[in-house]
Structure formats: C-alpha cells, structure tokens
Amino acid sequence: MTADSGSTSKRRPTVAEERAAAQEAKRAARAQKAAAAGPAETAPGVAIVRTSVGGTIVFTFTAVAAATIGFDADSVTAAMVLAAAVALGLFAVGSAVFLVALYLAAQRSRESEIAVGSLFFLADVAPSTVRAWLLGSLAAQVVVGVGTAAVRPFSALAFGTLVPMFGLGLAGLWGALHGSFPPRRPETRGRR
C-alpha cells in the first residue's frame, strides 16, 4: 500500500474554470441585487413607470389642494390656476406621448401582432408589477380628475378630467417599447 492512496489529492483549477467560477459569482451577485431591489425596479422601462407615478402624485396634490382651499365663486385662487396648469400640461404631454406610442406600435406591428387593448392596457404583454403601477396611476388620475371636478363643478378643476390621457399615453409607450407581443402570423391567401 502506498502512502498517498488513502489521501485525496486536490488538483488546481484551470484558468478557464476560475473564469467560469468568477462569472457565476458575478451573475449570482447581480441576481441577488435585483431581488433586493424588488420586481418593479428590475422590469424594463422603469423610467416610464416612475414618470407616470410622479405625474399622478403632482396632479393629485395640486388638484386636491385646489379643491379643498375655500374660495369665492367669483375669484380664482393661485391654487386653482396651478391645478389647471398642471392638468393641461399633463394632458399635452400625454397627447404627444400617445401619438409617439401609436407611431412606434405601427412600426413594430410589421413583425409583431399588436392589439390596441394589449398596447394601452398591457393585457398579457407586461409584467404584473409594471401593469399594476401604470394602470393604477391611470385609475388614480381618473378618480382624482372626476372627483375634484365634481367637488368644484364649473371651475378650472374640470381640466383634471383630461389628465388620464397622460397615464394612457405612458402605458401605450411602455407597451410599444417593451411589450412582449407574439410574432406576426404569416398572411393566409385565399384559394382560387
């Protein structure tokens, strides 16, 4: 019996094995960091989601402030002017983004089957967290816009009912840029 037959000898890893182990460690660290950030942070198009949520927060703050500040029926307060300006600004941005989303979707439709409901309401084309944030922002814009306009009818707060165009446009932009649409089916030709 030899002296080294009972002991196990360790061989030194090759350079390729060391690189593979280092790359695997980096992948695991990235995956752990992504898991700690949360699902909304790892989804594509997070800037679009943040813009939608941020615009909704600004709109909600200005509209609710203008609706709750007492004012004379004949006077216009600074809060009312600010709320109207924010609402009209978000409507203008939303309209422009909506048109851009339509253009991008038309370009993408050459290769993908895109339905309007999937494009703007993200049905089956977006991760659930992205869909929840974007459609939640849209729903909040509808509720705040209609609610504040109902509290102060025939005032500048009625412009708040236009704000959901902002949320709809951003949801469409996300869908046009990042939506996972099925590939376009080959056209079938009729038999003669």
Q: What pLDDT is attached to residue 188?
A: 46
Per-residue confidence in pLDDT tens, the chain, 192 aa: 555 555 556 788 787 777 777 777 767 666 665 555 444 566 789 999 999 999 999 999 999 999 888 655 555 688 899 999 999 999 999 999 999 999 999 999 989 999 888 999 999 899 999 999 999 999 999 999 999 999 988 889 999 999 999 999 999 999 999 999 998 887 744 554
Q: Which amino acid is at 132?
A: A
Q: What pLDDT is attached to residue 17?
A: 76
Q: What pLDDT is attached to residue 161?
A: 96
Q: What pLDDT is attached to residue 19?
A: 74
Task: Write out the DSSP string of the chain.
Answer: --TTSSSPPPPPPPHHHHHHHHHHHHHHHHHHHHHHH-HHHHSTTHHHHHHHHHHHHHHHHHHHHHHHS---SS---HHHHHHHHHHHHHHHHHHHHHHHHHHHHHHHTTTB---HHHHHH-TTTS-HHHHHHHHHHHHHHHHHHHHHHHHSTTSGGGGGGGTHHHHHHHHHHHHHHH--PPBPPPPPPPP-
Backbone angles phi, psi at 183, to 5 degrees: -65, 155
Please tell me the distance from the alpha carbon of residue 110 to that of residue 104, in angstroms, as a whole number.
11
pTM of the complete model: 0.73
The ranges assigned to domains in the chain are: 44-178
Tokens of 49: 């989601």
Cα→Cα distances 139→32, 74, 124, 148, 190, Å: 33, 32, 19, 14, 44
Torsional sign, CA 96, 58, 55, 152: negative
